[in-house]
């Protein structure tokens, strides 16, 4: 049954991915990307039944004892478990790291694959099937489904930027993406901005786009103008059956600042919260440089060209605890 394109308490645009009118959807997306860099995505083709099973499997993982989860600690390929307070996203305002734990799952690449020489390609860290039966299969299936959705969204973004519809799906872009699934669990401490305690500190995402699914518990907030003082934070309510999609810094660079990577945070209420983020970045060696439709003589390129690998590597180092802390 199609999801209605409506929300009760948000001003964000709602994009229907099943609409046959691509140009109309692209026009709506263009305005959303100019206004806030956030929008809802409905009728994306992933069933509610599958999403319910995905969240059930995510919860099963986080219920595993901590000493066991630490055996799956994230590695240098950015795969595996991230403990509570592993990330510090807003050091100027946070009194401690994020009150969340997570688990990174990238595109599976065998150790003997030449691509595994790159920082963001390699094998995943998989819990044993005896401990979490069916877990790996569900996560790999979601990887495939979410990437398919992301590629469809990328087509609309290309049209919104007056590019060829397949611009982001050309070789070297999303054919071998750095696509990362991250399970997230917020628990243990209610957020208190006055004390610098957050589920996730204020930040912008790193890459092209992020698809976010939630369990229906609120907490996500966006700040449309980070330079405004005092900053105004706006709640983004969950939308059952839909994704919340936001643009990343890499797309802002690509579009010469035309499309916005908007600051957001998570303020956790007095209850557990689960969410599942899917980060879509271009391939490792992709050169991110100003798009031909986004500059002119009066508006020259603002950012230097940079490879996806170099940009992501620095961002991860800036926000994650050094792994040597856990050794």
pLDDT at 27 (0 to 100): 96
The answer to whether 317 and 298 are in contact (CB under 8 A) is: no
**Cα–Cα nearest to 220, from 142, 273, 153:** 273
d(CA 120, CA 107): 9
Torsion from C-alpha of 139, 141, 144, 149, nearest 10 degrees: -90
**Is 14 in contact with 40 (CB distance < 8 Å)?**
yes
Q: DSSP string covering 51-108, please?
A: HHHHHHHHHHHHTS-HHHHGGGB--TTS-EEE-TT-B-S-TTT-SSS-SEEEEEE--B
Domain layout of the chain by residue ranges: 13-322
CATH number, domain 13-322: 2.60.120.330
The structure tokens 């969204």 sit at 153
Rounded average pLDDT over 97-111 = 94
Q: Say whether pLDDT at 153 is over 80.
A: yes
Structure tokens at 19: 């609409």
Q: How far is CA 58 from CA 46, 86, 135, in A?
A: 17, 19, 8
Q: How far apart are CA 45 and CA 99, in angstroms?
A: 32
The beta strands (E) that lie in the chain are given as: 13-16, 38-42, 80-82, 100-105, 177-186, 200-203, 209-214, 220-223, 234-235, 243-247, 263-266, 273-283, 287-288, 306-307
Distance (Å, whole) CA 133 – CA 148? 25
Helices 22-35 and 135-160, axial angle in degrees (round to 10):
90
Q: What pLDDT does residue 8 have? A: 53
∠ CA 68-106-258, rounded to 5°: 130
Give residue 320's pLDDT band: very low, low, confident or very high (50, 70, 90). confident
Q: What is the mean pLDDT of residues 252-271?
A: 94
Q: Are 251 and 167 in contact (CB under 8 A)?
A: no
Q: Residue 253 and residue 258: Cα distance in Å, rounded?
A: 9
Closest CA to 182 of 150, 239, 139, 221: 139
Q: How confident is the model at residue 297 (pLDDT cuts 50, 70, 90)?
A: very high
Q: What is the pLDDT of residue 203?
A: 95
Position of tokens 């499997």? Answer: 57
pLDDT per residue over 205-229, tens digit each?
Answer: 989 999 999 999 999 999 998 778 8
């Amino acid at each position: 049954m199609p999801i209605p394109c409506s929300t009760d308490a948000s001003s964000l645009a709602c994009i229907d991915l099943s609409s046959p009118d691509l140009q109309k959807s692209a026009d709506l997306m263009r305005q959303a990307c100019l206004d806030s860099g956030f929008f809802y995505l409905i009728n994306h083709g992933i069933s509610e039944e599958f999403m319910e099973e995905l969240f059930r499997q995510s919860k099963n993982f986080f219920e595993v004892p901590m000493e066991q989860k630490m055996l799956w600690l994230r590695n240098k390929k950015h795969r595996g478990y991230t403990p509570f307070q592993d990330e510090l996203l807003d050091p100027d305002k946070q009194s401690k790291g994020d009150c969340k734990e997570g688990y990174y799952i990238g595109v599976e690449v065998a150790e003997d694959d030449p691509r595994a020489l790159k920082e963001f390609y390699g094998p995943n860290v998989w819990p044993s099937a005896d401990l979490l039966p069916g877990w790996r299969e569900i996560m790999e299936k979601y990887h495939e489904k979410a990437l398919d959705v992301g590629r469809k969204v990328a087509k609309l973004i290309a049209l919104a930027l007056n590019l060829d519809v397949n611009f982001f799906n050309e070789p070297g872009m999303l054919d071998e993406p750095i696509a990362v699934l991250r399970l997230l669990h917020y628990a243990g401490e209610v957020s208190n901005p006055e004390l610098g305690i957050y589920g996730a500190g204020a930040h912008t995402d790193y890459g092209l786009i992020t698809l976010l699914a939630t369990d229906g518990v609120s907490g996500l907030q966006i700040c449309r103008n980070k330079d405004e003082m005092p900053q105004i934070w706006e709640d983004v309510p969950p939308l059952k059956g839909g994704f919340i999609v936001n643009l990343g810094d890499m797309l802002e660079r690509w579009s010469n600042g035309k499309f916005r990577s908007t600051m957001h945070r998570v303020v956790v209420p007095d209850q557990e919260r689960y969410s599942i983020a899917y980060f879509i970045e271009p391939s490792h060696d992709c050169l991110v440089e100003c798009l031909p439709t986004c500059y002119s003589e009066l508006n020259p390129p603002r950012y230097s060209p940079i490879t996806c690998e170099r940009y992501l590597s620095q961002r991860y180092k800036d926000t994650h605890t050094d792994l040597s802390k856990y050794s």
